[in-house]
Structure 1
Amino acid sequence: MSVSNSKTGVDNTLDTSTTDSRLSERRPTGGVDWAKDDHAVAVVDPDGEQTARFTVAHDQAGLRELVRRLLKAGVVEVGIERPDGPVVVALRQAGLVVFVIPPVQLKNLRSRYGSAGNKDDRFDAYVLADTVRTDHRRLRPLLSDTPTTTALRQTVRARRDLVAHRVAVANQLRAHLQICFPGAGGLFADIDSEISLRFLERFPTQDRADWLSPRRLGAWLASVGYCGRVDPTVLHTRLTDAPRGHTGDNTTASAAVTTAYTAVLRTLTKQIAELAARISEQLDTHPDAEIFTSLPRSGRVRAARLLAEIGDARGRFPTADSLVCLTGVAPSTRQSGKVRAVSFRWGADRELRDAICDFAGDSRHDNPWAADLYRRARARGHDHPHAVRVLARAWVSIIWACWTTHSTYQPDRHRALQRILSQDQPAAA
């Protein structure tokens, strides 16, 4: 039986073939309530009585004390709320079996022991320990990805965070220009493009832009290597037709703000590019790279993100459905009596869901089967995000099959795709 941890991305299903011998010994269990500065720890005997309760500091000496006291108490299995960090590393290095029980589940488990709903770190440690004692058959020991995958995940998530920061700064710059220099805000397609940043560095205010004529603008664009997709006369018309911005004494402060935003955007863009290059290098050395780069429109960064979020600990997902549930692309069904409701699945690994949906949404532009599945979902009345999740649900089963068999995606062996292609050929004829 399996239980997927939505917040941590850990599938807690007990591998009875490897742990039954330990469980039959009925040994004490431990619980650690993780915190920033110190950690509350509880030890529960096989009958559910708390035999020890203590706190350790979050430093090397404290972690050594934590492991020493747990081993001295005869603890083999430990419950904790998160799957990573120095505490988990110390526990696993000591040979302890770690079970991850996410905060959302822990919150619901508190009601077992009282109705007040009080939050206390020491009590939470006891709940974690007792849950491992009573529910170990529904839990799977923590399985970690290889260091290569863990490092790739760190790089991928760092790049994604910087992209989010760049979008935020670009929006701030756009809002600033709408007030002080409206013509520059809509001059080029992207406010954070290279040509747009160069223009704002050279002409940060309305006063400086007033010097431009179509001929002067064309000469400047040629000097910075503009691609020439839009005629300089059209660009100059955009400048002159827009509402006028601040002029005179008001321009000094406005120019300083514009310069600050452009400098931040340049830095972010540079770091994003460097991380993308680093991701490509890490992907080249990963054993599973070929599996994910073979997917349609996966590219390099997108393939690396899929690989990093799914991981390479294949024991976490013994079935395709276990991966589907954790991604949150399958709906959640609630039924009571004659009432049955199907709704969005909130409990999911959000990083994994975002990676799968990002891939699925773009795959329809290159894969006829994906395009047909998306089109039929829209025809049933689903909006775009819902249709993408429907498509993602189908892709997860394919990805899981490739992932578990260490094989690449092969369109000629994708029967559903081949049926679509065979239908298109007579229609074209």
Structure 2
Amino acid sequence: MLFVGDDWVEDHHGVELMDDTGRRLAKARLPEGVAGMARLHAMLGEQLGEDAADQAVIGIETDRGPWVQALIVAGYRVFAINPLQASRYRERHGVSGAKSDAADAHVLADMVRTDSHQLRPVAGDSAQAAAIKVVARAHKTLIWERTRHAQRLRHSLRDYFPAAREAFEDLTAADTLELLAKAPDPASAAKLTVAQIAAVLKRARRRGIADKTAKIQAALRTERLGQPEIVVSAYAARVRSAAAVLAVLNEQITALQGQVEAHFGRHPDAEIILSRPGLGPILGARVLAEFGDDRTRYVNAKARKNYAGTRPITRASGKKKVVLARYIHNDRLVDALGVQAFAALQASPGARLYYDELRAREVSHHAALRQLANRLFGILHGCLKTGTLYDEAAAWSHRVEKLAA
């Protein structure tokens, strides 16, 4: 066997080849791209001949990108090593703190030589799953960005135009952004007529336009403490800019939502995932994107729960034993699981009963949702493994019978 450490940098790779005794056989700095990949194949071929793909194990600190994909297609066993793991491994063999690309490549090669049984190989997800991951992550990232910009807008309004915060409940709504663009300061907002406000609400397809118009106009015309005129003018320019950014984000979020639904709808696992309570096309796409669709990636339901971050960890030493939530996890997946668990309370009688039982034992709301998500994704693993749709009676048989009684 040959063990390869690949220290990836943006434009090059520091590579070291190591045999099973830990002896360095070769090292090189390879350029990113086709030329670098060809040179790596040549280096491995010089050592292993035609059996390079079967006998080479590669460690690299990323699991995505054309380089990693090329390694997988070539048939190498590739392990994506968390940079924190590599850092801790480096500390086992030296305390000086010295670091270089060549040294990092050596560490990665040594890790896959000695600890490959503890590492997770890069999953062989399908191209469909990879595409879903791209658009689902982009969609969620824009939603997070919209939330950040809305919070900045809210803080700006608090500092010079608090009446707007009371007039507009949702600072990301199209009608709110249009009104703020028209009248970004207290003086101009107070001059807005009923007809102007009603027209904006009508374009946004609001209901109860007359009542909403009166409420908004009354709030905007309420007398408040203010800032000097020149300061208000500066804030108004800032708010116009923020409103324009939020309008673009809304447009792109809608566009990407269509892409997420289209890609997810074509995946063979979509029907199984959508059969589960609390999962729609967008949330289901996020779950599929983060879990992947490689059937060999999770050996059992416990492995899937561990990756999801819903399964608790135990710290035990002597007579002391503490059960804690996992704080090292995939944030995108945990976010999706929490939303699904909350939605399942309305969609699944069994999930609701399980949650109520936890709350009756004085488990907090968030901890109960986390345990419910843990149970739900154990069920998901079984459904995906067997290729069967979710069945409420089978999933919660004893609790559904209890509920019926």
**Do both proteins adopt the same fold according to a TM-score greater than 0.5, normalized to the shorter chain?**
yes
DSSP-derived class of the 1:83 partner: coil
Q: Is this contact kept in 2: 1:183–1:244, CA < 8 A?
A: no
1:138-179 alpha-carbon deviations (Å, 9 max, x no partner):
455433210011010000000111001111111111111122
Partner of 2:343: 362
Give the distance between the partners of 2:79 and 2:200, measured in 1 at CA.
63
Higher relative contact order (CA 8 A, sep 6+): 1
Give the distance between the partners of 2:332 and 2:361, measured in 1 at CA.
28
Q: Is this contact kept in 2: 1:30–1:70, CA < 8 A?
A: no
Structure 1 residues 178 and 111: CA distance shift in structure 2, 3 A: closer
Runs of 5+ unmatched residues, structure 2 = none
Give the distance between the partners of 2:116 and 2:197, measured in 1 at CA.
71
Q: Is this contact kept in 1: 2:301–2:381, CA < 8 A?
A: yes
Comparing 348-357 and 172-181, the one that deviates more: 348-357
Amino acid at match of 2:152: Q
Q: Is this contact kept in 2: 1:327–1:350, CA < 8 A?
A: no
Partner of 1:336: 317
Structure 1 residues 218 and 38: CA distance shift in structure 2, 3 A: closer
1:314 CA drift (Å): 0.8
1:241 CA drift (Å): 3.5
Match of 1:169 among 133, 138, 149: 149
Give the distance between the partners of 2:85 and 2:164, measured in 1 at CA.
51
Q: Is this contact kept in 2: 1:173–1:261, CA < 8 A?
A: yes
1:172-213 alpha-carbon deviations (Å, 9 max, x no partner):
111111223221222132111122112212322212222246
Q: Is this contact kept in 2: 1:79–1:99, CA < 8 A?
A: yes
DSSP-derived class of the 2:221 partner: helix
1:215 CA drift (Å): 7.5
Q: TM-score, normalised by structure 2?
A: 0.90
Amino acid at match of 1:227: R
Runs of 5+ unmatched residues, structure 1 = 1-26
Q: Is this contact kept in 2: 1:182–1:242, CA < 8 A?
A: no
Partner of 2:39: 65
1:375 CA drift (Å): 2.8
Partner of 1:200: 180
DSSP-derived class of the 2:147 partner: helix
Match of 2:377 among 396, 400, 412: 396
Give the distance between the partners of 1:422 and 1:307, measured in 2 at CA.
31
1:290 CA drift (Å): 0.4
Q: Is this contact kept in 2: 1:43–1:52, CA < 8 A?
A: yes
Structure 1 residues 140 and 168: CA distance shift in structure 2, 3 A: closer
Partner of 2:19: 45
Give the distance between the partners of 1:111 and 1:246, measured in 2 at CA.
56
Write 1 or 2 for the structure with the bigger share of helix: 2
Partner of 2:170: 190
Q: Is this contact kept in 2: 1:44–1:52, CA < 8 A?
A: yes
1:137 CA drift (Å): 4.0
Q: Is this contact kept in 1: 2:359–2:368, CA < 8 A?
A: yes
Task: Indicate yes or no: 2:87 matched with 1:113.
Answer: no
Partner of 2:80: 100
Q: CA RMSD in A?
A: 2.4
Task: Indicate yes or no: 2:240 matched with 1:259.
Answer: yes
DSSP-derived class of the 2:280 partner: coil
How many aligned residue pairs are there?
398
Task: Indicate yes or no: 2:277 matched with 1:296.
Answer: yes
Structure 1 residues 323 and 83: CA distance shift in structure 2, 3 A: same
Q: TM-score, normalised by structure 1?
A: 0.85
Partner of 1:155: 135
Q: Is this contact kept in 2: 1:329–1:389, CA < 8 A?
A: yes
1:75-131 alpha-carbon deviations (Å, 9 max, x no partner):
522122221223212322333221222222222222442343433322221222222
Give the distance between the partners of 2:203 and 2:112, measured in 1 at CA.
68
